[in-house]
Structure 1
Amino acid sequence: MDMGLGNKVAVITGGSVGIGLAVAEGLAREGAHIALVARDRERLEAAAAKLEADHSVRCLAIAADVATADGVNAIVSQVEEAFGGVDILINNAGTGSNETIMEAPDEKWQFYWDLHVMAAVRLARGLAPLMKKRGGGVIINNASICAVQPLWYEPIYNVTKAALMMFSKTLATELINDNIRVNCVNPGLVLTPDWIKTAKQLTAESGGDWEGYLQSVADEHAPIKRFASPEELAHFFVFLCSDKASYSVGSSYFVDGGMLKTL
């Protein structure tokens, strides 16, 4: 299926690994040019070079911290200078947390608020005008099933992802008259490097069966009894970026293998 994404320009945060990189690969495969954003410059530049070589598209590596206003300003200016505009924004940068509400300091709450919410706010504020000049665009915010079905051990993650979900809904209403479609994706269990790293740490002193541990997590939470691959999730992102999803506005989509337990 031709998704009509050839020569579009996509900005993807948290793009050097995991879900972000898989989305970048999916869009590049469709002929979109990529502005890949992450903090680890070495890994980022390697990923960008591989995308260019594999898919014959332009891929700009932008080493920046999206949790800061200066980092976002650098992204906006570099994208405008390199491409003249943008058509797609994927707010994907983020990470899990581990704390209790009673013990987590204000600084930790603020860090995750800046990373999961303010990064999306600032990037939308900076890039939406460039989309408007090109006649429209697409913004997708990658939240989590934890936005509506929280895990007890990461309350800050749960709260900030819920805020990101509401931000998506309100931004969609504000931007649709500019032909900019905003949606939110709430993934369930996705086999990212972070999950593998955590599983190896948790099983290091009990035999090292990290794969068995991950299977137990899938058995407990997902009726499909497995994790998704980043590529499976990326297929959904690519669809939402395309004109095939032209009536998808202001929605939250759960890609979770049946993990969500409510209607």
Structure 2
Amino acid sequence: MELGLRDKVAVITGGSAGIGLAVARSLAAEGAHLVLAARAADRLEEEARGIRETYGVRAVPVACDVATRDGTTALAAAAEEAFAGADILVNNAGAGSNETILDAPDEKWQAYWDLHVMAAVRLARGLVPGMRRRGGGVILHNASICAVQPLWYEPIYNVTKAALMMFSKTLAAELIGDDIRVNCVNPGLVLTPDWVKTAKELTADSGGDWQGHLDEVAREHAPIKRFATPEEVADFIVFLCSDRAGYSVGSTYFVDGGMLKTV
């Protein structure tokens, strides 16, 4: 299927691992050029180099923290300098939390608000003017099933991801007149490095069967009884970035193996 992505320019946050890296590789396979953001400079440069060598596209690494104003400013500036703007923005950077509402300090709430919400706000401000000059574009927000079906142990994650989903909806209404399509994706269980790391930590004192722990989580939460691969989520995101999804505007799509319990 021709997706019309060749020579498009995509900015991807959290682009050095997990879903973000899978999206980067899938877009590169379609011929898109990339601006990849992550905090770990060495790993980011290594992955960008691998993408360039494998797919023959340009991949510009930008080591920055998108939870900060300086980080989003640097990322937007890098896209402008390298490509005179971008056609696609995938807001993917994020992290789980672990706290109770009564015990979590204001600083933790603010840190996650900056990472999950303000990064998207600031990058819209920074990149939308260039999308307008280029005749349109696509913005995708990677939120979470927890935006609508919260997990009890991460209330800050639940709340900020719900806010990101609403931001996506309202931004879509504001930008569709510029031919900029905005949508949101809510993944369920996805086998990212963070999940593996957490599983190894939780099972370190009980035999180290981290895979068994993840299998148990999948059986409990997902009717499909397994985790998704990052590539399965990435393929859906790449489709939404393409011309084939031209009538998809202001929507939220669940890629969750049946985990969502409501209609």
Instruction: Give CA-to-partner distance per residue, 1:140-198, whole Å, 9 cap, x none.
Output: 00000000000000000000000000000000000000000000000000000000000
Residue 177 in 1 paired to residue 177 in 2? yes
Residue number in structure 2 paired with 1:89? 89
Residue number in structure 2 paired with 1:240? 240
Residue number in structure 2 paired with 1:251? 251
Residue number in structure 1 paired with 2:207? 207
How far residue 85 of structure 1 moved from its aligned partner, in angstroms, is: 1.5
Residue number in structure 2 paired with 1:114? 114
Q: Secondary structure at the match of 1:103?
A: coil
Instruction: Give CA-to-partner distance per residue, 1:220-261, whole Å, 9 cap, x none.
Output: 000000000000000001100001000000000000000000
User: In 2, Cα distance between the equivalents of 1:193 and 1:260?
Assistant: 23
Residue number in structure 1 paired with 2:198? 198
Q: Secondary structure at the match of 1:25?
A: helix
User: In 1, Cα distance between the equivalents of 2:170 and 2:149?
Assistant: 21
Residue number in structure 1 paired with 2:10? 10
Q: Secondary structure at the match of 1:197?
A: helix
User: In 2, Cα distance between the equivalents of 1:54 and 1:232?
Assistant: 20
User: Which contiguous aligned blocks of 4+ residues in structure 1 show a shift greater than 6 angstroms?
Assistant: none
User: In 2, Cα distance between the equivalents of 1:137 and 1:79?
Assistant: 14
How is 1:1-263 mapped onto 2 (pairs within 5 angstroms)?
1-263=1-263
Q: Secondary structure at the match of 1:74?
A: helix
How far residue 38 of structure 1 moved from its aligned partner, in angstroms, is: 0.3
User: In 1, Cα distance between the equivalents of 2:228 and 2:71?
Assistant: 31
How far residue 2 of structure 1 moved from its aligned partner, in angstroms, is: 1.2
User: In 1, Cα distance between the equivalents of 2:149 and 2:114?
Assistant: 22
User: In 2, Cα distance between the equivalents of 1:87 and 1:141?
Assistant: 15
Q: Secondary structure at the match of 1:123?
A: helix
How far residue 41 of structure 1 moved from its aligned partner, in angstroms, is: 0.2
Q: Secondary structure at the match of 1:169?
A: helix
Instruction: Give CA-to-partner distance per residue, 1:61-102, whole Å, 9 cap, x none.
Output: 000110111111111111101101110000000000000000
User: In 1, Cα distance between the equivalents of 2:179 and 2:3?
Assistant: 18
Q: How many residues align?
A: 263
Give the AA of the match of 1:151. L
Structure 1 residue runs of 5 or longer lacking an equivalent are none
User: In 2, Cα distance between the equivalents of 1:222 and 1:78?
Assistant: 40
Give the AA of the match of 2:112. Y
Instruction: Give CA-to-partner distance per residue, 1:16-46, whole Å, 9 cap, x none.
Output: 0000000000000000000000000000000
Give the AA of the match of 1:87. D
RMSD (CA atoms)? 0.4
